[in-house]
Amino acid sequence: MLKNIRIVLVNTSHPGNIGATARAIKTMGISKLYLVDPLMFPHVKADEMASGALDILGNATVCKTLDEAIADCGLIVGTSARSRAIPWPHMLPREFAEKAMTEGESTEIAVIFGREQSGLTNEELHRCHFHVEIPSNPDYSSLNIAAAVQVIAYECRIATLKDLAKPAQDYPYATAKEMQGFYQELEKTLVSTTFLNPKTPRQLMTRLRRLFHRARPDMMEVNILRGILNAIQKKIV
């Protein structure tokens, strides 16, 4: 559903790019814009580039942190032109768009875009179920941020034209906030059982995050997992 999709821009430095993004999404029928700690906003350059999409800028939600911007989302994807140290499940824009259109009306979907200079950090990318890469020229792979938004938004619009079957599901997917709470409990339990030594954590939590993100538990499943962790904690204290 286009109305469930939010475009999240992290730490954007050029206000013109924020305006161009507003125009890019409005032309494709997406209306939710989230800005995480933008350098300059509101700004006349954003308004100029937005052209007739001033309403999108006016309704944009400005957040201090990425966690705040995605807290209630059940599908989170990060866009990136490069692959990272720990490989993560990834998709092409078309696959993502089709997936987004089959999600129930109850799932809020976040598509995250990084800084013009440095993209998204590993920590930010590890908040995501999937990474979406626009298959560009390997020798010159980085698109302007608003151009990247346009490609993703266009694919989402095209996907609305297809008749996509909905998967069977009895509970909504767990949101980012619920998963974050689960990871905190999990880490606490792993430390108290001495499985995880906080002095040498290595990539354990990142790998576990990837595992659980891949499984995409629903709310009920996360409640069960947290119940299990609770029972373990009670036994060891």
Contact predicate 127/66, CB 8 Å: yes
29, amino acid identity: G
> Binding to ligand SAH by residue 3, rule CB under 6 A?
no
Q: Which is nearer to ligand SAH, 38 or 217 (CB)?
A: 38
Sole binder of ligand SAH in the list 114, 130, 173, 179 (CB under 6 A)? 114
Buried b (16+ CB within 10 A) or exposed e, 149-170: bbbbbebbbebeeeeeeeeeee
Both tokens of 73, joined, read: 């989302």
Burial class (CB in 10 A: 0-12, 13-18, 19+), 84: middle
CB of 145 to ligand SAH, least distance (A): 4
- Per-residue x/- track, 143-162, ligand SAH (CB under 6 A): x-x--x--------------
Q: CA 216 to CA 201: how far, in whole Å?
A: 24
CB of 220 to ligand SAH, least distance (A): 33
- Per-residue x/- track, 167-196, ligand SAH (CB under 6 A): ------------------------------
Residues that bind ligand SAH (CB under 6 A): 79-82, 113-114, 116, 118-120, 133-134, 136, 141-143, 145, 148
